[in-house]
Amino acid sequence: MHVRGDQPGEAPLGTGTVPAAGAGPGVAGPPVPGVEGVWRFAAPAVDVTVSHARHAVRDLLLAQGVAGPVYEELLDGILLIVSELVTNSVRHAALLSPELVVEIVLSAGWVRLSVEDSHPYRPKALSEDFNRLGGRGLLLVKAITAEAGGACDVDRTSGGGKVVWVELPLPRPRTGR
C-alpha cells in the first residue's frame, strides 16, 4: 500500500509505504504545533483492504503524534470510521470501482479522513432498524462524528464517482501537570 505525503515548508515526501501493523512508533507525544500534511493511498477494492487501511491510518496518525491518552477515544473513532467507509466501498462500489483511495489530512486542530471510489451511487444511512442485519455503518459514522463535534458528507468527484469524508476536531493536549 503506497502513501503520498506533503509537509508544508518541506520537500514532498514522495511515494513511500506505511509501516506494517505493529511496526509504528508506539505511543508518541502530542502532535507538534503546526504539523500539517496530506497523505493518500490507493488500494484494490477487496476485503483485505479494510484491515490494511485501518492499520495504515493508525500507523500514520501515531507517527504524526496523534497518540496517547488525550487522543485515545478520537483514534478509536477514526479507526472505526475508516473501517466502515472502506468496507462500504469494497461491498458496494467494487464492481464499478476496482480501486479506492483513502486520504488523511491533518491541519490546525482537525483531522479529515476521506474514502473515494469511482461508483456514482451516493450512499445513505440506510436504516435505524436495529433488528435488521447490515445497513447501519453510515449511521455509526454519523453518530461518532456528531459526538466528536465534527462533520461528514458525500461529494461527487470530477470523474463521476464520490468521496465520503469526515472531519473531526483534534483534542487539545493538556498543558502543565
Asked if residue 164 belongs to a domain, the reply is yes
Query: pLDDT > 70: what percent of the chain?
Result: 71
> Residue 8: inside a domain, yes or no?
no
Residue 32 is assigned to a structural domain of this protein = no
Q: Which pTM value belongs to this model? A: 0.77
Range of the domain at 80: 46-169
The pLDDT assigned to 36 comes to 85
Give the model confidence (pLDDT) of 29-83 as tens digits.
444 455 689 999 999 999 999 999 999 999 999 999 888 898 999 999 999 999 9
Give per-residue pLDDT as tens, 10-33: 323 223 333 333 333 333 344 445
- Average pLDDT over the chain, rounded to an integer: 79
How is the chain classified by DSSP, letter by letter?
Answer: -EEEEE-TTS---EEEEPPPTT-S--S--SPPTT--EEEEEEEESSTHHHHHHHHHHHHHHHHTT--SGGGHHHHHHHHHHHHHHHHHHHHHTTTT-SEEEEEEEEETTEEEEEEEES-----------TTSSS--HHHHHHHHHHHHT-EEEEEE-TTS-EEEEEEEEPPPPP---
For the chain, what is the domain count? Answer: 1
Residue 111: CATH number of its domain = 3.30.565.10
53 is a domain residue: yes
98 within some domain: yes
